[in-house]
Amino acid sequence: MQLQERLTKTELVSFYRQMLLIRRFEERCAEMYMLGKIRGFLHLYIGEEAIAVGCMSALRPEDYVVTHYRDHGHALARGMDPKVAMAELFGKVTGCSRGKGGSMHFFDASRNFMGGYAIVGGQLPVAVGLALASKMKGEPRVTVCFFGDGALNQGEFHEAFNLASLWKLPVVFFLENNLYGMGSHIDRTYAGGRDVFKAGEHYRIPAAQTDGMDVLAVREATLRAVEHARQGNGPFFLEALTYRFRGHSMADPVEYRDRAEEEAWKVRDPIPTFQRYLLENAIATLTELSEIARQVNDEVEEAIRFADASPEPPPEALYEDIYA
Amino acid sequence: MPDLTLREAIRKGLQEALDNDPRVFIMGEDVGAYGGAYAVTKGFLRQYGPERIRDTPISESVIVGAGVGAAMGGMRPIVEIMTINFSLLAMDQIVNHAAKLRYMSGGQLMVPLLIRTVTGGGAGLAATHSQSLEGWYASVPGLKVVFPSTPADALGLLRTCLKDPNTIIYCEHALLYGVRGPVPDTYYEVPLGRAEVKRPGTDVTLISYGRGVHLCLQAATELARRGVQAEVIDLRSLRPLDLETPLASLRKTHRALIVEEAWPMAGIGPYLGLRLHQEAFDDLDAPIAHLCGADTPAPYARNLERLSLPDVPAILKTVAEAFGL
Ligand SMILES: Cc1ncc(C[n+]2csc(CCOP(=O)(O)OP(=O)(O)O)c2C)c(N)n1
């Protein structure tokens, strides 16, 4: 972990806080799911937090973010109130999508968080369109589009890369490569080999690879990628190498992975790693970090209380918001 | 009132939109240099330039998806899908994204996207190029579907669609582009969800949309010669769907035939027929009849294709058999 730009202590500590918030939030989500408070599919982001936090820290408020169904981390890192996020998971009217979207469809237009999309690869064309709008309107926004390695094999990946490059659109395609699409290892699903970030070469999209377990590395790589797009040079393809520590969803007992492989990745858990970095470089003390952990816990508990106490959407909502 | 073709009416509407609203742009396969597969946007590239008339690769999914994103981002995209048959490649973007984003976002997002597409059979293009899928889209909450039959409606509906904040599938029947009709010089709009009585009558109601309306009008002329006054209703939009106009007509004529090119199962005709039976059962002298495309993939051979689509003799035959008229 190297620090090439000068970040303040406040900034660095806030990265730690955000990663921890996402982690605690989701650990509690798993419990709420077992209690039946959360329904449907629940895909946890645990292990990948450094990506959302590192990336979002490099964006401006006006930038668009589009992501997939594993979207809690992105939404929280983008500044969504955990209360509003939890309420959405509980299917309450106080949720970010007023209880209409659930886990896979977080939206926060006020933060230009343009949504979690539950169809693998479906968000890529939408991101291209957002970037097209920005470019046509002359706005200096960049659209960051997250997707998993599974989406590499959708036709939309190629359609979106091709068009974005042809039209030089300000979009950063951000691949969160956690090596698995459900239970299928990338080596069994993707014929292009492990140098996935070279997949854009055919479309003349410059690319880089970064360590998705290192929040500062992700931040720096994102800053470069976004700058490239913001300067009018067209799309950029960024690949972060990462690992999800849990199953694909709550329904997944993870019987397809080698335990040694899991352990090797868990040693690189982005949160303790960053904690060590903060301590070793005397950026924060253990007391300060424990205090943060306590605050984060409180915040998550408050979110659960809020979600629990919130009303369900009224029956009339069934027919609301179908048309504008 | 000048006479325009349906193609010219649509061109006029598109040009108005491009002239009056800087957010409007058109994208699709060959809409620019080529002028559009059906020549609707011919000359637009020279007039408006490549920023606003965007030729795309043959990538239906990203064409529609980019339209969805651009609409969410504050533009007013009009995308052309060369024919409705190819919209199947963009079905995910249309049905899963365009139609649902407003609902799933709890009302935060809007997707004011107009998807223009060509539909219908009868040109000898065989099974994959002749489909009438408008009913599929009309079955999706979150989408609107319009289908003009006359130049005046084509322009009036287009104007309304371009003010509507939702995703709309605007269907153009391939065989209607050359149809000519009066188009008012003064500004007007045609509201969505309001059917029109194209010819009044008292003995039987013929309900259709798109090309079927023209067949029904011809059949009505023939019926009049036999002393039967047929009322012809043009639905004009399939979602929202106007039930009131057909109901009012049924209460007068007590008999109705629905004519469409689509397949017999799971379409507009079966749905409309059910609703009319539910609402007007006591007014009916006979069950509502349905004349539609054959329950087959569209055949290539001229004779078979003819057999597979509704035509005037088939309308007359159905009216005779179902109602004894
Ligand atoms: C088009 C489509 N096909 C299949 C699915 C079912 N599905 C949901 S997630 C998933 C795996 C995707 O893996 P990846 O893109 O690598 O993302 P990750 O879960 O690893 O974050 C599959 C197959 C889907 N949602 N959409």
Q: Are A103 and A25 in contact (CB under 8 A)?
A: no
Percentage above 70 pLDDT, chain A: 98
Which residues in chain A have their CB less than 8 angstroms from residue B94's CB?
none
Ligand 1: distance of its center to the CA of A181 in Å? 6
Q: Where are the beta strands (DSSP E) in A182-304?
A: 184-185, 207-211, 236-241
Buried b (16+ CB within 10 A) or exposed e, B43-71: ebbeebeeebbbbbeebbbbbbbbbbbbb
Integer Cα distance of A74 and A25 in angstroms: 12
Integer Cα distance of B260 and B215 in angstroms: 10
Buried b (16+ CB within 10 A) or exposed e, A143-157: bbbbbbbbbbbbebb
- pLDDT tens digits, B37-48: 999 999 999 999
Crossing angle, helix A155-166 and helix A123-137, to 10 degrees? Answer: 10
Give nearest CA residue, ligand 1 atom 21: A148
Peptide bond into B240 cis (omega under 30): yes
Residue with tokens 């009217």: A93
- Residue B110 at interface with chain A, using a CB cutoff of 8 Å: yes
3-state secondary structure chain B: CCEEEHHHHHHHHHHHHHHHCCCEEEEECCCCCCCCCCCCCCCHHHHHCCCCEEECCCCHHHHHHHHHHHHHCCCEEEEEECCHHHHHHHHHHHHHHHCCHHHHCCCCCCCCCEEEEEECCCCCCCCCCCCCCHHHHHCCCCEEEECCCCHHHHHHHHHHHCCCCCEEEEEEEHHHCCCEEECCCCCCCCCCCCCEEEECCCCEEEEECCHHHHHHHHHHHHHHHCCCCEEEEECCEEECCCCHHHHHHHHHHCCEEEECCCCCCCCHHHHHHHHHHHHHHHHCCCCCEEECCCCCCCCCCHHHHHHHCCCHHHHHHHHHHHHCC
Point out the residue among A64, A99, A126 whose CB comes nearest to the CB of B68. Answer: A126
- pLDDT tens digits, A46-65: 999 999 999 999 999 999 99
Report, as ranges of residue numbers, the positions in chain A whose pLDDT lies below 70: 1-4
β-sheet bridge partners, residue B234: B196, B208
Q: How high is the pLDDT of residue B137?
A: 98
Ligand 1, residue A176: give the atom nearest the CA: 21
Segments in A35-89 forming alpha helices (H): 49-57, 72-77, 82-89
What is the enclosing helix (H) or strand (E) of A219?
helix A215-230
Ligand 1: distance of its center to the CA of B95 in Å? 18
Integer Cα distance of A234 and B56 in angstroms: 17
ipTM, two decimals, is 0.84
Determine the residue of A68, A120, A244 to mutate for testing ligand 1's pocket, defined as the one with the most ligand atoms within 8 A of the Cβ atom: A120
β-sheet bridge partners, residue B54: B27
- Residue B61 at interface with chain A, using a CB cutoff of 8 Å: yes
Which chain A residue is nearest to residue B100, measuring alpha carbons?
A322
How many Å lie between the alpha carbon of A175 and the closest alpha carbon of chain B?
A: 18
- pLDDT tens digits, A72-121: 999 999 999 999 999 999 999 999 999 999 999 999 999 999 999 999 99
Q: Are B253 and B280 in contact (CB under 8 A)?
A: no
Which residues in chain A have their CB less than 8 angstroms from residue B64's CB?
125
CA distances from A98 to A69, A90, A164 (A): 17, 10, 32
- Residue B116 at interface with chain A, using a CB cutoff of 8 Å: no
CA A303 from chain centre, in angstroms, equals 20
- What single string gives the DSSP state of each residue in A265-291? HHTT-HHHHHHHHHHHTTSS-HHHHHH
Q: How high is the pLDDT of residue A215?
A: 98
Report, as ranges of residue numbers, the positions in chain B whose pLDDT lies below 50: none
Integer Cα distance of A92 and B108 in angstroms: 16
Integer Cα distance of B281 and B27 in angstroms: 47
Q: How high is the pLDDT of residue A3?
A: 52
Is B108 within 8 Å of A130 when comparing Cβ atoms?
no
- Number of A–B residue contacts, CB under 8 Å: 144
Ligand 1: distance of its center to the CA of A224 in Å? 28
- Which of A203, A208, A209 has its CA nearest to residue A159? A203
3-state DSSP call for residue A38? coil
Residues with CB under 6 A from ligand 1: A 70, 118-120, 148-151, 178, 180-182, 248
Which residues in chain B have their CB less than 8 angstroms from residue A64's CB?
73
Integer Cα distance of B56 and A133 in angstroms: 15
Integer Cα distance of B66 and B63 in angstroms: 5
Global confidence as pTM: 0.91
CA distances from A113 to A25, A59, A127 (A): 19, 12, 11
Residue with tokens 């952990």: A293
Q: How high is the pLDDT of residue B301?
A: 86
Ligand 1: distance of its center to the CA of A225 in Å? 25
3-state DSSP call for residue A236? strand
β-sheet bridge partners, residue B230: B204
Through-space distance between the first and last CA atoms of chain B, rounded to whole angstroms? 37
Q: How high is the pLDDT of residue A93?
A: 96
- Residue B96 at interface with chain A, using a CB cutoff of 8 Å: yes
Integer Cα distance of B190 and B195 in angstroms: 10
Residue B223, Ramachandran bin (φ over 0: left; ψ between -120 and 50: alpha; else beta): alpha
Is B109 within 8 Å of A322 when comparing Cβ atoms?
no
Instruction: List residues of B with catalytic annotation.
Output: 60, 129
Integer Cα distance of B192 and B242 in angstroms: 9
Ligand 1: distance of its center to the CA of A195 in Å? 20
Integer Cα distance of B165 and B78 in angstroms: 13
Is A100 within 8 Å of B106 when comparing Cβ atoms?
yes
Q: Are A12 and A219 in contact (CB under 8 A)?
A: no
Point out the residue among A127, A136, A156 whose CB comes nearest to the CB of B75. Answer: A136
Q: How high is the pLDDT of residue A1?
A: 53
Integer Cα distance of A107 and A78 in angstroms: 11
